[in-house]
Amino acid sequence: MKIKNGESMDEIVENLMFIKKVITYDGYYAEYIVTDGKYDLICMDTSIPLPPGVKEPEQGMRIAKIFAFSIDDTNIKRIEDDKSKKCLVKKRKRPLSYYLQAEIIDKESALVRIGRLIIETEELSDDLKNGDFIGFEADRLDCLLYE
């Protein structure tokens, strides 16, 4: 799949989503600050064990996927005001929770983009389309390391 500027999804993910900092790791659970160099998100990773040959996660490791989870799947709203159509990451009080504003890049796969961070969301409603900006609450963000 090609995104608006001609990049494939693999090119975006492979080059630009990576661990900025390992917050915690115990062999079965990890929390990372994941970044694209501009936007940072705290994500949890329960896909342990790690890829073959890797003893523990470290700064610079590539992230394959980010998943947004929300208890209320009806909280996805289109951003209508042109001045508000921008990417936004706002940390909430609850641990690992965020308010996010993102651009829909693949409605069928429920993929959105904040900068170069690609996030899989809950199913998107029929009235939304690629290129729309949406705002939503994420109770937690999970991620998977690139193998």
pLDDT tens profile 34-43: 999 999 999 9
Q: Please determine, for residue 95, whether its predicted confidence score (pLDDT) is greater than 60.
A: yes
Residue 122 one-letter amino acid = E
The model's confidence at residue 72, banded by pLDDT at 50, 70 and 90, is: confident
pTM of the entire structure? 0.85
d(CA 67, CA 142): 5
Mean pLDDT in residue range 94-105: 94
d(CA 51, CA 146): 8
Across the chain, mean pLDDT equals 87
The rounded percent of the chain whose pLDDT value lies above 90 is 63
Q: Please determine, for residue 15, whether its predicted confidence score (pLDDT) is greater than 60.
A: no
d(CA 69, CA 74): 12
Report helix, strand and coil shares of the chain as percent, to nearest 5. 5, 45, 50
